[in-house]
A and B are shown apart, each in its own frame.
Chain A
Amino acid sequence: MPLAVNIMVRIYIDQKPYDVKPGKNLLETCLALGLDLPYFCWHPAMGSVGACRQCAVKLFKDENDKTGRLAMACMEGVRDNMYLSVNDPTARDFRSQNIEWLMSNHPHDCAVCDEGGSCHLQDMTVMTGHAYRRFRYPKRTYQNQYLGPFLHHEMNRCIQCYRCVRFYKDYAGGKDLDVFAAHNHVYFGREKDGILENEFSGNLAEVCPTGVFTDKSLREHYTRKWDMTMAPSICQHCSLGCNIIAGERYGALRQITNRFNGAVNGYFICDRGRYGYEFVNDPERVRQLVVRTENEGPNLFESLKAILGEGRMIGVGSPRASLEANFALRRLVGKEQFYQGIPENEARLLDKVLAIQHSGHVYTPSLKETESADVVLVLGEDPTNSAPRLALALRQAVRTQPLEDTAGSNIPLWHDSAVRELIQDEKGALFMAYPVHTKLDELASGTLHAAPEDIARFGLAIAHYLADNVAGMSKPEGMDTQTLESARRIAELLQKAERPLIVSGTTLLNEDIIQAAYQIGRALEQDEKKAGLFFVLPECNSAGLAMMQAPSLTVAMSAAETGGFATAVILENDLYRRAERSEIDRFLSGFRNIIVLDHLQNDTTRAATVLIPAATFAEGEGTLVNNELRAQRFFQVFMPKNEHIRESWRWLDELRQFQEGSKPDELRELDNLLEELVAAMPQFKGIESAAPPSDFRINGQRIPREPHRFSGRTAILSNVAVSEPKPPEDVDSPLSFTMEGYRGMPPAPLIPFYWSPGWNSGQSVHKYQSETGGSLRGGDPGVRLSGEGLHFENGFQSPAPPAFKRSPNEMTLVPLPHIFGSDELSVRSASVESRAPRPFIALNALDAEQLGAAEGDVLLVQIGGQVYDLTVVRKDELPEGLAGIAYNLPSMSGIAWPAKGVLTKAMV
């Protein structure tokens, strides 16, 4: 941090003095001051390039200069005693003229454009006052391209701001989108039609200031932004907890957009997060309460009551259910009968991660902070597939070191193109260790493709070089000199780094890797350096569930063996994905009653005797704890018309009341539940402040979920009744389901959508930030839990594992997750599913040859008691004897890890 950060400089805008932060450009400064200055090419996360010429202001030499000159605000750094005018007539005329230029070829097709109503070009056009078109010649037209399932292309609308290529190529590392031709023929697209392959392509819909790239999934059930009911939400599809805005109309979820969180996802989310929402609208949703039981009572409630009174219950929690739901289950079945719905090895890993984060020896950075790491070591993770948004952050991290090296050049960091030209291809140190190639390998200064054991050993070797005098950090035996040398080099770099970052996690289900990451952190601590340890976890609430410190599914299975349980209550969890089919069958056969709460039909719901329709994240409220122990609240987007669909926690709480013999009459509020949760589990202290309580009001008003232009509220139900029904009331949050309420700035966790007068598109987010691009006013949402009160039994010391050795006659398997496909819910979106790989087995050349299998051949793979047909994918970087298999694709059932497989060639 430069020392000068607190020293403000004085600038004069239209004769008014302002004290502002130095080091920024004038555009971001003006925006932060609340002045409306139009822009296109500048982007808060991508900086300035000065291409669109929209942000012109008048600059004066000094206070006596009355003439001044036009200058682009985004290209001028603020200087002390700077005089400028935003309102100067020439500057205004120029800005309006610039819009006229941009609009000269624009199709003016707002009425049929998906961007209309949330279009930055519309907003800026109105802002500059341009209204009358003088260009009377034919417009230039283009042909559009097919870009795959995520984005629609409409090039005629393009205003050539270059943001798309700058995001896709420069920021996200995409290769297959670029700008073609020159002068007023420039074209943005692919070389030919085809699927945009970058995992962050969906952001183009938000980065593009007009309707060139629009969300194709929204198009399937199009609704204008102003006609959507929206709520702040959290992405459910990996452990990072990116903040999202979810929008609904007519009972269907229609769109996910990024919700800015300065500490987490910033301006961007991944395509899994953006397009994975359609499971909410799935025709296979569980919609009815179904009781399949012999001793049926006179009505559903009586039957339920009977079941609940039948005997002891076991509760199986879920890492994809909210904390509240897990807690409500625990209360229903009793603390001792509550189990994490994950296998033992995964539970152990998570406990270890928690213990490390809790140890005080390492630092857990936020996702945003990972971007500023100067040396990065990734041990056993493939972020693009296991925590996609992290991959985007690490792409920025490799620029950190070169950017710092430019400090002496006097080129400000916001001057994007100048900085890129200066640093060219230079990259900071990033080391990737994973069994197969990852997408980030292309940025890496070094890679290791090895078995999990050897990745762990490699990590331990690094720890050893960092602190060979620290007890317990001896060099693993039998490593080859080349690997040792690279371990030594990484140790050296980490030692020199100012903000070293180690990324590790649970993906390879290997405890030694996590241990090794920790050892490295410990060793760096000996060096008076707090390393950042960023752990990738399996699911959106894995950390929250783990913090409950309940025993695992495996333990539940043995408990069930001993008998004595009448009923299992399974919360939002398809157990058939967690272990081998036969084991789950055996487990479930031990219960007379199987109560399952879930959103979608799956093998577990099919086994249920009582099936309860659980609200998805869009239909209910709850809290998730992400991988860095940030508790974040997601809010109900809409009240499902089907009243059976309720939050699991509400159902479970009602079941508890049935069980106690009372018929629940009064809805319980989320806040009460949270209070009880903290009382029962003090490790969650602070979680209640993740969002304001339900009785929070501003000027006595709720925060509306609907923009004030929301239309058709009476007409929507006119086929049923012409009088407008009373809107549902939200007892759990301060948000209202209507357009009525407080129109000003809500507290950060409650922002349902971005809007400000004159700023209808998502670009209005800067109005919500304390400084342009900085955190949201009042602090970014979410609370980091300290985890105080957690108890850990496992020690930290464990000897180095032996090196990987191939097993005779079988292949050792490693799970390889895929961004599109491996997540249970997102793959139910047709667009995501279409991008999923076919179930595969990855083999190296030698193993493939021995099996006589070529790329594309199908092998029969016997894993435990199950046989799969898997397509061979050659990955020659895999060590011999190790095969990668597609992890948890929908067509595959659970595998007990660690796993081995017997491979045979399928008969043709």
Chain B
Amino acid sequence: MIAQETLTTEEMAEIDHEIALVPVRRAAAIEALKIVQQHRGWISDDSLQAIAGYLEISPEELDSVATFYNLVFRRPVGRNVILLCDSISCYVMGYEKIYGQIRERLGIAFGQTTPDGRFTLLPNACLGTCDHAPALMINNELFRDVTENDLDEILDRYH
């Protein structure tokens, strides 16, 4: 299949680096998905085809891997992705209140993106910071002991 979209030289160079570390090209699949997602925000069907072509595997084989994992985005996401921990310690410490507040503030529920593309909200399993629950991550930043009072200020940092 001819890919509609091609990988950039930069993406290819990064993927090549990962390929060099593994015994078979295919084994770099997850790394390649991560790299392209890093650059493009998500993995579109066209990106998937392009990566599959580069790894010399079928789009099926790559999508099988891509769709298995939580953090490979096969649908477009907003400029900022909020991962709200919904696991046990955060449950006990009241993440649902934070969730309610985000819904109110941004008008989006889990799995949704604000119409202006500013935020996507996703639930996330335990962020491993249970002694500072409730916790959330926005892009690469972790926020702990989040209270209803902090939330607005946190969200305001992202555009």
B64 within 8 A of A: yes
CA distance A192 to B60 in the complex (A): 9
Q: In the assembled complex, how far is the CB of residue B151 from the closest CB belonging to chain A, in whole angstroms?
A: 30
Quick one: which of A169, A182, A424 contacts B68, CB cutoff 8 A?
A: A182
Chain B residues with CB under 8 A of A424:
23-24
| A828 vs B24: C-alpha distance when bound (angstroms) | 43
Q: Which residues of A contact B63 (CB under 8 A)?
A: 178, 180, 191
Best-surrounded residue of A177, A181, A182 (most CB of chain B within 10 A): A181
B114 in contact (CB, < 8 A): no
* B23 cross-chain contacts in A, Cβ below 8 A: 424
Please encode chain A, from 674 to 686, with 1 for each CB lying within 8 Å of some chain B CB and 0 for all others.
0000000000000
Q: B145: CB under 8 A from chain A?
A: no
Q: When chains A and B are docked, how far (Å) is the Cα of A176 from the Cα of B63? A: 11
* A-contacting residues, B62-98, CB 8 Å: 63-64, 67-69
Q: Does A335 contact B (CB under 8 A)?
A: no
Query: Is B61 an interface residue, CB under 8 A from the partner?
Result: yes
A175 touches B61 (CB 8 A): yes
Provide a sorted-by-A list of 14 A–B residue pairs whose CB atoms are within 8 angstroms.
A169-B61, A175-B60, A177-B60, A178-B61, A179-B64, A180-B64, A180-B67, A181-B67, A181-B68, A190-B60, A191-B48, A191-B59, A424-B23, A425-B24
List residues of B (21-55) whose CB comes within 8 Å of A's CBs: 23-24, 45, 48
B residues in contact with A178, CB < 8 Å: 58, 60-61, 63-64
What is the bound-complex CA distance between A177 and B48, given in angstroms? 15
In the docked arrangement, what's the CA distance between A175 and B48, Å? 15
User: What bracket does the count of chain A residues touching chain B fall in?
Assistant: 10 to 19
Q: Which of A182, A191, A425 contacts B60 (CB 8 A)?
A: A191
Where chain A touches its partner, the secondary structure class is loop
Bound CA span A155–B58, Å: 21
Question: With contacts A192-B45, A425-B24 known, is A176 near B58, CB below 8 A?
Answer: yes
Question: CB within 8 Å of B: which of A430-449?
Answer: none
Nearest opposing residue in chain A for B64, CB measure: A178
- Residues of A participating in the B interface, judged by any CB pair closer than 8 Å: 169, 175-182, 190-192, 424-425
In the assembled complex, the CB of A398 is this many whole angstroms from the nearest CB of chain B, namely 16
18 new A-B contacts, CB < 8 A, other than A179-B64, A191-B48, A425-B24, are A175-B57, A176-B58, A176-B60, A178-B60, A178-B61, A178-B63, A178-B64, A180-B64, A180-B67, A180-B68, A181-B67, A182-B67, A182-B68, A190-B60, A191-B45, A191-B59, A191-B63, A424-B24
- Kindly list chain B residues whose C-beta atoms are within 8 Å of the C-beta of A180: 63-64, 67-68
Of the four ranges (under 10, 10 to 19, 20 to 34, 35 or more), the interface on chain B belongs to: 10 to 19
| Min CB gap A195→B, angstroms | 12
Chain B residues near A190 (CB-CB < 8 A): 60
Most buried by A among B45, B60, B67, B68: B60
A176: chain B residues within 8 A (beta carbon) = 58, 60
- CB-CB under 8 A from B24, the residues of chain A are 424-425
**A177: which B residues are within 8 A, CB to CB?**
60
CB-based contact A175/B58 at 8 Å: yes
* Chain A residues whose CB sits within 8 angstroms of the CB of B69 once the complex forms: 182
Q: Which residues of B contact A175 (CB under 8 A)?
A: 57-58, 60-61
- CB within 8 Å of A: which B9-24 residues: 23-24
Alpha-carbon distance A256/B63, docked complex (angstroms):
33
| Chain A hits for B68, CB < 8 A | 180-182
**Minimal beta-carbon separation of A51 from chain B (angstroms):** 15
A11 to B155 alpha-carbon distance, docked (Å) = 67
Chain A proximity of B107: nearest CB distance (Å): 27
Q: How far is the CA of A181 from the CA of B68 in the complex (A)?
A: 4
Shortest Cβ-Cβ A-B pairs, 3 listed: A175-B58, A178-B64, A178-B60
Q: How far is the CB of B72 from chain A (nearest CB, A)?
A: 11
Q: Which residues of chain A are within 8 angstroms of B48 by Cβ–Cβ distance?
A: 191
Which residues of chain B come closer than 8 Å to A179, judged between CB atoms? 64
Residues of A within 8 A of B45 (CB): 191-192
Query: How far, in whole Å, are A858 and B67 apart by their CA atoms in the complex?
Result: 42
CB distance from A725 to the nearest CB of B (A): 52
CA–CA, A178 to B64, complex, Å? 6
